[in-house]
């Protein structure tokens, strides 16, 4: 059961081979045993989880269950969940108990009947690529506990890789689903911007933030994505479009699929062995009937600099709400209101968050707005246009997800620019608002490598199909980390 797919779990629950309470208990026991080493969860509440499991069992007994009712899942601690501590990896929210459910949480828990196993650790306010900026300490990679799991959804990634949960949610503003998926041998999908509601998901950079599934396979991701999508009037950028069944097209053959290989993704900057694994995966696709064509994303080298203007600008605005006045942390001692704000924010935010707020405030300030923020927005448009041009020549784009395998804890923590470069292949996708996936495609020195798939707008179904066919032909995604 610990290693079963969501489909197998669904069948086992429907056939009454196991109850949701029993299944959830298996995972809760495993969390109790292994989480002290991995630090993947920041909040576990057995009573709450079992309450949900009992409700799921009642639905199964009453014949009102959906396909995922009763299946336990881990939720990234960026999603507000009613009655659950929701910290976003920050001291600022360390004691914040959400009074409401994010739309994603409501859909997954109340509607689909999934059972929450708890909230997973993450980089503070989702700012990071290693999980080291979390107020609750770093997460360890189940493949090698001296290494990072990636970030910011590193707790979700480690939880699923160590099978502390069958699947998890993540969010991806600049790579935070795809990069930890790559570093932990998971399949992860960032949907097209606007497909999944951002309501109740603590905002980092609102024009980029998007939630998605992290799981062991494309099929599991498709099942989860089905429960997450849909128009939400409470998110002004939510898209009102027909809801799809993402499992419907998984088996389509790949004959004639045109794979675009951006020359900028296959040049310098990527570890040679990672690149070899990516190329081997593309050769496998050719065996499956796909053809390749070289494409170009000429502005992609500007994606990291543009992102590190736009994302901090939006973050500096979004994070202004954490002022100690309404909720969250408040400094214990202060002489007046201004000092209360100052001390609260000085004590409540970590170094990386402060760095982003300062960069953001700077690039938005009078005299610098045109030079930085406006310029970055123009580059963002050019990057999106590059993809439009590339998709005239191909159906999907492929390349590495991350330039290296999981790095050592502490290796990049002191050098923000080195850390930011972890996302050189993922960020352009967020700037363009496109869907992207990471799929396990091999190992280097015992550490997983991810293949990135990028689709055109609303091509989630196609990406999942392309990933699923590969997973039918290969078994990289089935390899499991061995944990003591
Ligand atoms: N690593 C990137 C950052 O630090 C992306 C994070 C994310 O996608 N949330 O901003």
Q: Which domains does the chain have, with CATH numbers?
A: 6-253 (3.90.1300.10)
**Closest atom of ligand 1 to CA, residue 151:** 1
Average of per-residue pLDDT values in the chain: 97
Which one of the listed residues 20, 49, 76, 129 is annotated catalytic? 76
Task: Find the mean pLDDT for residues 21-35.
Answer: 98
Ligand 1 center to 45 CA (angstroms): 28
pTM beyond 0.85 = yes
Tokens (6 digits) for 450:
């991810």
pLDDT for 166-211, tens place per residue? 999 999 999 999 999 999 999 999 999 999 999 999 999 999 999 9
pLDDT for 234-244, tens place per residue? 999 999 999 99
pLDDT at 118: 98
d(CA 309, CA 46): 41
pLDDT category, 447, cuts 50, 70, 90?
very high
pLDDT at 483: 85
pLDDT category, 305, cuts 50, 70, 90?
very high
> Which residue's alpha carbon is at the smallest distance from atom 4 of ligand 1?
128
**Ligand 1 pocket mutation pick from 76, 173, 403, 407 by most atoms within 8 angstroms of CB:** 173
- Ramachandran angles phi, psi of 437, nearest 5°: -135, 160
Ligand 1, residues at Cβ distance < 6 Å: 126-129, 152, 172-176, 204, 311, 423
Please report, rounded to a whole number, the percentage of residues in the chain having pLDDT higher than 70.
100
For the chain, what's the residue count?
Answer: 484
Round the CA-based radius of gyration of the chain to a whole number and report it. Answer: 21
Which one of the listed residues 156, 176, 300, 438 is annotated catalytic? 176
**Closest atom of ligand 1 to CA, residue 177:** 8
- Burial bucket for residue 383 (CB in 10 Å: 0-12, 13-18, 19+): buried
Sheet containing 211-215, strands listed edge to edge, beginning at the edge strand earlier in sequence: 41-43, 115-120, 72-76, 167-171, 211-215, 187-190, 436-444, 447-455, 396-400, 258-262, 291-295
Please report, rounded to a whole number, the percentage of residues in the chain having pLDDT higher than 90.
98
pLDDT at 102: 98
pLDDT at 268 over 90: no
């Amino acid at each position: 059961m610990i290693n079963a797919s969501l489909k197998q779990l669904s069948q086992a629950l429907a056939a009454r081979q196991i109850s949701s309470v029993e299944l959830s208990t298996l995972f809760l026991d495993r969390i109790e045993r292994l989480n002290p080493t991995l630090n993947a969860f920041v909040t576990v509440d057995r009573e709450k989880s079992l309450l949900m499991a009992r409700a799921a069992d009642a639905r199964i007994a009453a014949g009102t269950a959906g396909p995922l009712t009763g299946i336990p899942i881990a939720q990234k601690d960026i999603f507000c969940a009613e009655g659950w501590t929701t910290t976003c990896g920050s001291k600022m929210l360390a004691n914040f108990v959400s009074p409401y459910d994010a739309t994603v949480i409501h859909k997954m828990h109340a509607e689909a009947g999934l059972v929450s196993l708890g909230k997973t650790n993450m980089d503070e306010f989702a700012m990071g690529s290693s999980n080291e900026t979390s107020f609750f300490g770093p997460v360890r990679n189940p493949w090698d506990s001296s290494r990072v799991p990636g970030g910011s959804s590193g707790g979700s990634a480690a939880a699923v890789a160590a099978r502390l949960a069958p699947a998890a949610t993540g969010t991806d503003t600049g790579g935070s689903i795809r990069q930890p998926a790559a570093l932990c041998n998971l399949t992860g999908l960032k949907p097209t911007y606007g497909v999944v509601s951002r309501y109740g998901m603590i905002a980092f950079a609102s024009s980029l933030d998007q939630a998605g599934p992290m799981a062991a396979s494309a099929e599991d991701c498709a099942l989860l994505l089905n429960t997450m999508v849909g128009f939400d009037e409470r998110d002004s950028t939510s898209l009102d479009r027909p809801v799809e069944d993402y499992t419907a097209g998984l088996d389509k053959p790949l004959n004639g699929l045109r794979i675009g290989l951006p020359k900028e993704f296959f040049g310098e900057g990527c570890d040679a062995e990672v690149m070899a694994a990516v190329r081997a995966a593309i050769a496998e696709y050719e065996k499956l009937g796909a053809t390749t064509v070289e494409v170009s994303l000429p502005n992609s080298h500007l994606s990291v600099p543009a992102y590190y203007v736009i994302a901090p600008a939006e973050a500096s605005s979004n994070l202004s709400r954490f002022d100690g006045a309404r909720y969250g942390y408040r400094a214990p001692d202060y002489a007046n209101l201004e000092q209360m704000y100052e001390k609260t924010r000085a004590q409540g935010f970590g170094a990386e968050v402060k760095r982003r707020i300062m960069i953001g405030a700077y690039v938005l300030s009078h005299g610098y707005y045109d030079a930085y923020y406006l310029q970055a927005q123009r580059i963002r448009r050019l990057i999106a246009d590059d993809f439009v041009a590339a998709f005239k020549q191909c159906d999907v784009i492929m390349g590495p997800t991350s330039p290296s395998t999981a790095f050592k804890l502490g290796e990049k923590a002191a050098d923000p620019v080195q850390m930011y470069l972890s996302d050189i292949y993922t960020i352009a996708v967020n700037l363009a608002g496109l869907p992207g996936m990471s799929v396990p495609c091999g190992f280097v020195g015992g550490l997983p490598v991810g293949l990135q798939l990028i689709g055109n707008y609303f091509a989630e179904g196609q990406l999942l199909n392309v990933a699923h066919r590969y997973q039918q032909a290969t078994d990289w995604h089935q390899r499991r980390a061995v944990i003591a």
